[in-house]
Amino acid sequence: MPAPTQATFDRLRALAAIDHPEQRESRDVLEAFTGEKVTTIPVGTVEDVEQAFVRARRAQKQWAARSAKDRAKVLLKFADLVNERRADLMDMAQLETGKARQYAQEETLDVAMTARWYGKNAPKLLEQKNTAGMLPVFTNTRVRYQPKGVVGVIAPWNYPLTLAVSDGVAALAAGNAVVLKPDSQTPYCALAAVELLYQAGLPRDLFAVVPGPGGVVGTAIVERADYLMFTGSSATGATLAEQCGKRLIGFSAELGGKNPMVVTKDADIAHTADGAARAAFSNSGQLCISIERIYVEREIADEFARAFAERTANLALGAGYDFTNEMGSLASKSQIETVAAHVDDAVAKGATVLAGGKARPDLGPFFYEPTVLKNVPEEAICFASETFGPVVSIYPVDSVDEAVERANDTEYGLNASVFSGSTKQAQEIADRINAGTVNINEGYAAAWGSTAAPMGGMGISGVGRRHGAEGLLKYCESKTIAQQRIIGIGGIKGIPRTVFLGVVPPIIKALKFIGR
């Protein structure tokens, strides 16, 4: 299956919210498998962002005036188009990131599932709701939801399809406009997905894509947005949160993770080894919710380590626009340098390599073997810091209590995994782990794919949630409208005010007998 053609890039480039691209600076876009230039993308400016916001604000007023059901029809059509064009979208995701095709497919499925869930459920979630008033019968209270306005989205390179548009889909469902800055490595994935939104009937000015550097385009978005959604590192997230705080606008972020897995002594070792390989090496480990720490009860630690190392060593590693390979390349030179530095540091400080542990330039410039370590000392970089690559460490523990304690001994709290032979024990462990999502007998996909449930991080792993009702209503301002009837708060005509005020406390006290 071929990579996208130059004609495809030319068509998509025209969708960027940038005027006169031929007259400005451009940036090379590389094929991650080979490191070779395949095309360019014009670099956005502050002026481009300003114009995108001007057009988006105008379009947003008209979009918000449409009914939630009408807006939802566009999202449902978009979901259908994503499924129809999934092969093209997978090609683009593989080209820009080097990921294996199964994880490119994972992206397209997530985009379609998320769009369909909001298309089906947003109208109901956004309906006006009646709620209990201060005084039964006499106080009528209702809650309405209205859009924030223009939502800024700053998306990463590791899942450049779903993390570029899925958060935007929720914002659109709520009646907002979106201005998106995709990562400079992966602009065409965002443009390809947004093209399908336009084809589904979304007004073009309502969703603008402005490629460019974070210090220019990203900053300009933060300075203009009514709400910001960010996915990326915890350090950058903290900086953006501070900037949003100064403007008193809402902020949501999915950030880094040093995600643990707990394996109990009665776990099925073969099943767990296979699940751990998916959990640690999906998308070449370049996944905020991938597993980087495995705590195994000592009784089975050696047997598990052998089985997991063997499964890891046998992973099919390579380049190709098909489903042959289980793991592709890393996305860039900087990624492979970081991964190599973490592994080399750990080994120099006493860690043992059970599988992998070296770059594979024979396969491509950014390939690194999936790597399993043991005996990683606390002073090693990868002991507590996120690697964000295909590296995982195994730690034997004496008990489940120790495993949970060590799993929670981190500033992060994004995702976790539990493998156990006992469902009851697995559920109890999951309840004790401090993470926004916990998967049982799976690494991350079960929770991530449950689009009706909220997903996000604790600690320095994030603020707010995506998916589910929370992922929609965060893009809304809730408005309470209360109408007082018959009996006014200040009194009743014809009754002395002192008499009325003396009656109020007994009335309020009596409310407890009717469940208020």
Query: Hey, what amino acid is at 149?
Result: G
Q: Return the axis-axis angle of helices 187-199 and 86-97, rounded to nearest 10°.
A: 160
Cβ-proximal residues to 258 (8 Å cutoff; 6+ apart), any chain: 292, 293, 384, 385, 386, 410, 412
DSSP sequence for 67-79: -HHHHHHHHHHHH
Residue for token pair 């009702």: 469
Please identify which residue in the block is written with the tokens 């939104």.
197
Distance separating alpha carbons of residues 172 and 72, to the nearest angstrom = 9
Render 209-261 in DSSP notation, one character per residue: E----IIIIIHHHHTT-SEEEEES-HHHHHHHHHHHHHHT-EEEEE----EEE
Check: CB of residue 478 under 8 Å from CB of residue 131. Answer: no
Q: Which structure tokens are listed for 477?
A: 């301002």
Amino acid at 410: T
Quick check: 189 and 164 in contact, CB under 8 A? yes
Closest CA to 382 of 443, 331, 338: 338
Taking Cα atoms as reference points, which of 372, 420, 445 lies closest to residue 269?
420
> CA-CA distance, 127 to 157, in Å (whole number)?
35
Alpha-helical regions (H) of 85-185: 86-97, 101-125, 162-173
What one-character-per-residue DSSP string does 25-65 give? -EEEEEETTTTEEEEEEEPP-HHHHHHHHHHHHHHHHHHHH
Helices 101-125, 86-97: axis angle to 10 degrees equals 120
In this structure, what token pair is assigned to residue 398? 């004496």
Does residue 31 have an active-site annotation? no
Question: Strands across the sheet with 207-209, in order?
Answer: 207-209, 177-181, 150-154, 227-231, 250-254, 462-463
Within 13 Å of residue 502, how many CA atoms lie on the same side as its CB? Answer: 5
Beta bridge partners of 27: 41
Among candidate residues 107, 254, 369, 386, the one labeled active-site is 254
Angstrom distance (rounded) from CA 286 to CA 97: 10
The answer to whether 209 touches 16, Cβ cutoff 8 Å, is: yes
Angle, vertex CA 498, rays to CA 496 and CA 503, nearest 5: 100
Q: 């969708």: which residue's tokens?
A: 15
* Residues noted as catalytic: 254
